[in-house]
Amino acid sequence: MKYRVRVWRQAGPTAPGRLVEYEIDDVTADMSFLEMLDVLNERLQLAGEDPVAFDHDCREGICGACGVMIDGVAHGPGKATTTCQLHMRQFDPADPIVVEPWRAAPFPVVRDLVVDRSALDRVIESGGYISTRAGAAPDAHALPVPKLDADTAFEAAACIGCGACVAACPNGSSMLFTAAKATHLGVLPQGQPERYTRARNMVEAQDDLGFGGCTLTGECTAVCPKGIPLTAIARLNRDVLSDAMRSA
Amino acid sequence: MALTLQRGSLGRQGFPCRLWASSVGKKVVMAVTGGILLGYVVAHMVGNLTIFFGDIDGYGVFLRELLSPVLGYGGFVWVVRVVLLLAVVLHMTAAVQLARRAARARPVGYARRPKVQGGYAARTMRWGGVILALFVVYHLLDLTAGVLNPHGVEGRIHANVVADFQHWYVVAAYTLAVVALGFHLRHGMWSALRSLGKAPGASSAAALIVAVGITVGFLAVPYAVLFGIVR
C-alpha cells in the first residue's frame, strides 16, 4: 500500500523547521508506525537524503523512548498505545498522516521528531526517589503493604516517562507525569518519610522548568500509553496542600 | 536513618506566599475563591426566586437590615460585596497568571490538533470566564446601579426586573451569560475538588446536576417576565 506522510523536518535546535510530504510505497497494514518510518528512511538514504530522526528503543511499548504527535494525537489513534505499538492498519491510505514532535518549551527540538525530554529527569531528581538504608535485602514480608495500596502504586509506576501527557496538555503541563511518580512512591510505606517534601519539590521543579499548570482537562490521561488516571493528580494536589499546611 | 530532605527556596516563606508561588497553589486559591463565588451564586439564585413566591423588594430590604444593629442599614450587603470583590480579584489574577504560564509552556503550536478529550466546558473556562466578567459589569450597571436599566429606580427591584426583561435582547444577553456560567461551573466544581485533593466518584454527575440546576434557576426569572408570567 502507498501512504502519504507529512513529517516535521528540522535540521537542528535553532534551525527553522517545516512539514515535508513524502509518499511511501510497499507499506503493509501489519507494519508498525516506526517500521513505516524505517522504510521511509531507507528510501531517503538510498536517495542520498538525510533520514528522519526519531527516538525509539525497545519497540515493545515499555521504554518510553518513542513518541510523536500523529495527526495531532500523542502516540496516534491507538488507545493506551505507544507509537511503536501502533500499526499502519489504523490509518486510511487516502489521508496524509501529519507527524510532529512533542511541543513544549521544556522539550526543545533536537532534530526532526526528536525532542530533549531531560526536563522530566530534572523533575525526578527533585524528589522522585526514596532514601533508604543500603545493605542486606529485608525479608520479603517484613513491611506489609495493603493490596489496594500496592495496586494503586503499581498502576502509577507503569508510567514510562514518554512525555505524551505534556505534549497533549493544552497548558504544556507535566502534572500527570509528576503525579504518577508522587503516587507510585507516596502510597507505599518506603515513600512515606519524604512524601510531602517530595510533592512540594517536584511541583516546584516542574514550575521552575517552565511546564504549564494543570487545569484538569483530561487530555493527558486520554493519550497516556499506560492509562495513568487523573485521580493521581488529585492525590499529588492533596500532598502539596498538606505540605503547605504542615509547615505553615 | 539519616534522611536528607531537600528544602526548596520557598520553605522559609509563610503559607500564603508559598501557596501563591506554586502553580498547584494558585489552583487551590482558584478552588477556594470559586467556592465562595459559587456559594454567593446559589444564594443569589434563591433570592431571585422570591419574585415568584413573595415580595422581592421586601427581600432587598431584608438583606439590608441583616445584622443592621451591628453593621448599620445596608452594612451586610457591603460586607458581602467586599468579600466577593476580593474573591473575584484573586480568582482572575490566578487565572491570568496560569494562562500566561501555559502560553509560555507551548510557544510553538501543532500544525494539526483535533480536540481529543476535554469537554466543551473544560475548553471554554478561560473565555467563559471573560464573558462572565464582562457580564458582571453590565449586570451591576443594570440592576445594582440602575444606569443601564429602562426603569432604574433604587429599591424597586420588581419593577426594574420587569422593565428589563420585556426586551428580548436583554433576555438574550442574560441567557448567554447564564449558560456561560453553567459551563464554567460544570468544569469548575469538578476541577476545584481535584485541586483541593479530593476525587469523589460521583463528582462529575453531581457537578453537571448543580450546574444545570443553577442555569435553570437563573433563567426562570427573565423568561417568566418575557412570557408575561411575572408582571
The ranges assigned to domains in chain A are 3-111, 117-131+139-247
Give dist(CA A234, CA B197) in Å, integer.
4
Amino acid identity at B164? D
Give yes or no for a contact between B163 and B231, defined as CB atoms under 8 angstroms apart.
no
pLDDT at B210: 97
Using the CB atoms, write b or e for B52-69: b if 16+ within 10 Å.
eeeebbebbeeebebeee
What ipTM does the predicted assembly reach? 0.92
Angle (deg, nearest 10), helices A175-186 and A118-125: 40
Which class is A3-111 in CATH? alpha beta
Kindly state the cell numbers that stand for B190.
Answer: 469538578
A69 in the Ramachandran plot: left (φ > 0), alpha (ψ -120 to 50) or beta? beta
Q: Do B24 and A248 touch (CB under 8 A)?
A: no
Contact A237 B108 (CB under 8 A): no
Pick from A126, A223, A245: which is nearest to B6 by CB?
Answer: A126
Nearest CA in chain A to B105: A105
DSSP A186: H
Ramachandran region, residue A98 (left: φ > 0; alpha: ψ -120 to 50; beta: rest): beta
Q: What averages of pLDDT result for each successive group of 10 residues across chain B (231 residues)?
A: 44 76 96 98 97 94 95 96 98 97 96 79 92 97 94 94 96 97 96 94 92 98 96 86
Which residues of chain B neighbour A4 with C-beta distances below 8 Å?
none
Tell me the whole-structure pTM to 2 decimals: 0.93
Interface residue A172 vs chain B (CB under 8 A) = yes
Chain A residue with CA closest to B201: the answer is: A231
> How far apart, in whole angstroms, are the C-alpha atoms of residue A75 and residue A55?
12
* A75 touching B (Cβ < 8 Å): no
Residue listed under C-alpha cell 513544549:
A104
Q: CATH topology for A117-131+139-247?
A: Fumarate Reductase Iron-sulfur Protein; Chain B, domain 2 (1.10.1060)
At B13 the pLDDT is: 67
Q: How far apart (Å, rounded) are the C-alpha atoms in residues A20 and B14?
A: 53
Whether chain A has a CB inside 8 Å of the CB on B69: the answer is no
In DSSP terms, which residues pair with A23 in a beta bridge? A4
Q: Say if A247 is an interface residue toward chain B (CB within 8 Å).
A: yes
Residue A71: other Cβ atoms inside 10 A: 19
| Spans of chain A, pLDDT less than 70 | 248
- Assess B25–A contact: CB distance below 8 Å, yes or no: yes
- Contact (CB, 8 A) for B222 and B165: yes
B197 touches chain A (CB under 8 A): yes
A127, A199 contact by CB (below 8 A):
yes
Cα B113 to the chain's mean position, in Å?
Answer: 30
Cross-chain residue pair B28–A239, CB shorter than 8 Å? no
pLDDT at residue A245, as a whole number? 86
